[in-house]
Structure 1
Amino acid sequence: MPEVKTERRAAMQFAKSAYWYFLFWGICSALGTTLSTLIDAILVGNIVGSDGLAVTSIATPVFLVYALLGMTLGVGANVYIGRSLGASDVENANLTFHRVLLVGLAVGLVCLAIVLPFRERMLDFLGAEGDLRPLARQYLTVVFGSAPVFVLYHIMSASVRTDSDPKLAAASSAVVVVVNLTLDIFFMQVLGWGIVGASTALCIAEGLGLVVLLFHFARKSALLKLGLKLPRLEDIERFVTNGFGVGSACIFQAVVMFTFNTLLLATDSEHGVTYVAIFGVIYTMSTIPAAVFDGAGNAISTVVSIFAGERDSESMLVTMRLGLKIVLGGGVLVGLAFVGFAPQLVRFFGISDPAALAAAVPAVRLYTICLLFMGINSLSTAFWQAIGRAKLAGGMSLVRNFALMMVLGWVLIPWLHLTGLSLTYVLAEALCLVGVGVIHLRSGSPTYVEKKYCTAGKSFEKVYAISTESINEVADDLEHVCDEWQIDYKQAFFIHLIAEELILNIIKFGLKDTHKGRSIAIKLMDNQGEVILRIRDNVHTYNPFDSEGDDIDNAVIHLITQKTHYYNYQRKLIFNYLYLIL
């Protein structure tokens, strides 16, 4: 029994390694978007003043609508792309990718065509009145004209992550941050463009970030290829239904921000603009922990969808448990920082008036409590969506990001102003966490995953160190399994040949850094008499089936193609996969 537990822990280490990798780069990518927002808010607050900061708060719903469209389509499509890649169906993955690209492009162009001619009505709708009107018109005109860029950026970023390139997605975010900061200073300080310089800088930076993402598709290792394909109505419905749980949070936040801004302005005519500016600071600060939670959710969505395609239920659940620990710890750490440095953080955004500070600091500290619950709620929604519980994810998003917020906000904000605003967020997240607990007790995800994604037949899986000493152990284990399952001797010989040949060639040609331990996981499955062999290793730079020279004997490759119903060798997540159906 202890030996079996050790083997399972080793097998699950593959899943944990994949999640940590996608988590790190996912957080970097999400923080890039967050930093762009922070940079705009900080520079506008200090250069233009509190009116400019209020305009960026008023404009936030527009960016959230773009995120709604891009993330709903991107996340929804990439759940299916990930499952197709997990099942080694690259053709279907590309078909889905090409369809969602065309939908995203069309949606972005429609937004541009509708919003620009009616921008004055949009300004009325967003509440840009009085002294804020001319500033909002300058800022938002540029933003309205850049709709296709923002929508496509979200779709492309999700697709690049799913195609095992989260580093490039993070690099594109870094480009957005650096370009935005540089152009903000140049346009607003040097050229004196004021607030229009901030929106111009952000839109140019977003466009360059999109260009960076396009470099992924020039790589030989990319499984997804650029292309456009006319979607079917059922495809669009699938994208929206499956992505709504995550993407809808953006539109709900947009409606909530608009409503809360209106309530703050209406309930106190003397201090309303100051309250809106402080709300903008609280919201902008909250994007830092939200970026951590979004990165964790994006990683869950990518990794779990691919494991779902492989029908690896245990790895799916291990990934979720690890994610919950990370978001809980991250929420505590960020919350402590916000509580301890609240005055300094508020001043950093250009709010230095003593009366405004006296109102802002307690509101920030009270809001911080909701960070303890937010990560768990966010991650649960992303996980439900990835495993196919789209209705549950959508319902949670509706209740958490809209229904509770609107009810609590209408009651608490007119009564307690900024304190009521912060309390609204705290109570909404706490009540939703209670709901997550109830759902887990009544119809938990572990039971759902094990029923839907567990392999029906017999299976064997074990992880081995890549070394010459492991070859005998591999041979003994495979021989035992083949005898126990009564596998035909020809198939048994073939299984031995492939596993041993692959290990030998990795040892010979792939282990450039001998100081790092590398592993290979061999899984054998019996699917109603059909024998499936899946081998994955974590050697990053070596593909024995795609290397020049005699790295692997051509006769072995010929044998693989001749003796299998299906053969595929890919790099997915952080592994090389050999997938064979004998």
Structure 2
Amino acid sequence: MKKTTSVDLGIEPIGKLLIKQAVPASIGILVMSLNILVDTIFVGNWIGSTAIAAINVVLPVSFFIAALGMSIGVGGSSIISRALGANDNNKALKTFGNQLTLTLLLTVTMIAFGLYYVNDIIPAFGGKGNIFEPAKIYYKIVLYGVPFLALCMMGNTVIRAEGKPKFAMYAMMIPSVGNLLLDYLFINVLDFGMAGAAWATTGSYLLCFAFILWFFLSDNSELKIKWHHFGLNFPIVKEISSLGFVTMARQAVVSITYLFMNNILFELGGETSVTAYAIVGRMLMFALFPVFGITQGFLPIAGFNYGAKKYDRVRVTINTAIKYAVVLATIVFVLLMTFPETITRMFTSNKEVIAQTPSAMRWVFAATPIIAIQLIGAAYFQAVGKAIPALLLTLTRQGFFFIPLIFILPIFYGELGVWMSFPLADVLATIVTAYFLNREIKRNLIIEID
């Protein structure tokens, strides 16, 4: 069997290549999302519905710190893809070494900060009343594993940049399966409660890190770095930071959104509304896995061909990715509009939560068929190294539209206004992204330079 290399990104037919890149990414995201989904089901049924709300409070904090690794990974991987496309292997190696150094420095610093201010952070993110104590237990244990999660998220994007989507898929599947097995052991068998759920999550991060470390030390990776590559290089750090800041800003806005949503919903509907949002949030992570997979598969193909100045292939990649993602998003939309109550009952038997969640779910996913345009559009600018438009388009949905809407609409519609904000923000962000993406294609991707 022919060994896959980064060169294939500039040679194979786009449709075939996108499927080859996106299917493993989708499977990896599916398994990871199923892990989060089943983990929530286990916690809800074995510990209680308050435990679901507690985890939902902690997630934005731990994910924000871990997103430092993802941000450095995505920013550096854009450079690596373009460098490999331009046959500049030295820059690719130096970039990877700098990614590792930055990830360790930043995540360890943030975790020390997070542990020191634990009693202030948890209430700020909605961990109030009966939610506080289980949230604190979960938070402190999970935070110890977050540096490993950050390294995994960074390493995963680099594996994709090398054109090795199957290994990236394995890296996502291993901790997911591991977490479920550890959940069963620590929660159901050993009865460790919230601490068991937290140790299962932390253990899964360690499993993922072990696999990614093996990948880069084995012959499967083209990036064989040496000690001198770890030394920070200012131009590379600047480029990683400018591109990675896009992902970091997106995750920061996500965390801020959780902060606002948990507090607004707690005031409007108490713990029941926070739990409903936690369930809908899990479905947002799970149900859209094929669309996110297309986006992940799109990134290295667009970046490599842009670096190789094969602009016709970049244009075809954009059109094909949007077409595939719209079809998949529409299928997801139909399923969620049809079975929201059945889905809710999987998580909890709490009658109040079951009564409230299906309606919220329908509102949240109402504009799902069009979100592909927004996701692919923002990803394109990041893939080709255009940090400013990538940043602005990434922040459009949640930063510019969604957050203002969740403060304005509840004044007129109460809690319903919170749920209405989701589809309205999706529509507005898609219109803006479509305009700028179309302008970029007409200006810069018409003439192919050999």
**TM-score in same-fold range (> 0.5):** yes
Q: 1:323 is matched with which residue? A: 321
**Deviation at residue 136 of structure 1 after TM alignment:** 0.9
CA deviations over 1:97-153 (Å, ceiling 9, x no partner): 001111011112112222222211222322322221211111000122222112111
Tell me, in whole angstroms, the C-alpha distance in 1 between the residues paired with 2:411 and 2:39: 29
Greater strand proportion: 1
Please tell me the residue identity of whatever aligns with 2:420: L
Greater helix proportion: 2
Q: 2:443 is matched with which residue? A: 447
| Bigger Rg, which one | 1
Q: 1:223 is matched with which residue? A: 222
Q: 2:357 is matched with which residue? A: 360
Matches within 5 A, 1:38-437: 38-227=37-226, 229-267=230-268, 271-353=269-351, 355-413=352-410, 415-437=412-434
**3-state DSSP of counterpart to 2:129:** coil
**3-state DSSP of counterpart to 2:117:** helix
Of stretches 78-87 and 107-116 in structure 1, the one that deviates more from structure 2 is 107-116
Matches within 5 A, 1:430-579: 430-441=427-438, 443-450=439-446, 454-455=448-449
Alignment length (residue pairs): 439
Q: 1:567 is matched with which residue? A: none
Q: 2:4 is matched with which residue? A: none
Decide whether the 8 Å contact of 2:62 with 2:143 is kept in 1.
no
**Deviation at residue 332 of structure 1 after TM alignment:** 0.5
Tell me, in whole angstroms, the C-alpha distance in 2 between the residues paired with 1:193 and 1:122: 24
User: Closer, same or farther in 2 for the Cα pair 1:398/1:88, shift >3 Å?
Assistant: same
**3-state DSSP of counterpart to 2:172:** helix
Tell me, in whole angstroms, the C-alpha distance in 1 between the residues paired with 2:219 and 2:399: 44
Q: 1:467 is matched with which residue? A: none
What is the CA RMSD across the aligned residues, in angstroms?
1.9
Decide whether the 8 Å contact of 1:64 with 1:253 is kept in 2.
no
Q: Identical aligned pairs, as a percentage?
A: 22
**Deviation at residue 80 of structure 1 after TM alignment:** 0.5
**Deviation at residue 31 of structure 1 after TM alignment:** 2.2
Runs of 5+ unmatched residues, structure 2: 1-9
Please tell me the residue identity of whatever aligns with 2:98: R
Higher RCO structure, 1 or 2 (CA under 8 Å, sep 6+): 2
Please tell me the residue identity of whatever aligns with 2:64: V
**3-state DSSP of counterpart to 1:128:** coil
Tell me, in whole angstroms, the C-alpha distance in 2 between the residues paired with 1:39 and 1:241: 36
User: Closer, same or farther in 2 for the Cα pair 1:244/1:373, shift >3 Å?
Assistant: farther
CA deviations over 1:182-236 (Å, ceiling 9, x no partner): 0001101111110111111011112111211222224335211245512134433
**Deviation at residue 377 of structure 1 after TM alignment:** 0.5
Tell me, in whole angstroms, the C-alpha distance in 2 between the residues paired with 1:411 and 1:232: 45
User: Closer, same or farther in 2 for the Cα pair 1:24/1:438, shift >3 Å?
Assistant: same
User: Closer, same or farther in 2 for the Cα pair 1:235/1:351, shift >3 Å?
Assistant: farther
**3-state DSSP of counterpart to 1:292:** helix
What TM-score do you get using the length of structure 2 for normalisation?
Answer: 0.93
CA deviations over 1:522-559 (Å, ceiling 9, x no partner): xxx5xxxxxxxxxxxxxxxxxxxxxxxxxxxxxxxxxx
Tell me, in whole angstroms, the C-alpha distance in 2 between the residues paired with 1:423 and 1:244: 29
Runs of 5+ unmatched residues, structure 1: 1-10, 456-524, 526-582
**Deviation at residue 67 of structure 1 after TM alignment:** 4.2
**Deviation at residue 391 of structure 1 after TM alignment:** 0.9
CA deviations over 1:312-358 (Å, ceiling 9, x no partner): 111111111110011101111011111111111001011440x4323
**3-state DSSP of counterpart to 1:334:** helix
Tell me, in whole angstroms, the C-alpha distance in 1 between the residues paired with 2:198 and 2:188: 14
Tell me, in whole angstroms, the C-alpha distance in 2 between the residues paired with 1:293 and 1:250: 18
Q: 1:30 is matched with which residue? A: 29
Please tell me the residue identity of whatever aligns with 1:87: A
Tell me, in whole angstroms, the C-alpha distance in 1 between the residues paired with 2:144 and 2:324: 38
Please tell me the residue identity of whatever aligns with 1:118: Y
Tell me, in whole angstroms, the C-alpha distance in 2 between the residues paired with 1:416 and 1:45: 30
Tell me, in whole angstroms, the C-alpha distance in 2 between the residues paired with 1:351 and 1:445: 50
**3-state DSSP of counterpart to 2:128:** coil
Tell me, in whole angstroms, the C-alpha distance in 1 between the residues paired with 2:386 and 2:441: 9
Tell me, in whole angstroms, the C-alpha distance in 2 between the residues paired with 1:402 and 1:174: 31
**Deviation at residue 308 of structure 1 after TM alignment:** 1.6
Decide whether the 8 Å contact of 2:40 with 2:52 is kept in 1.
yes
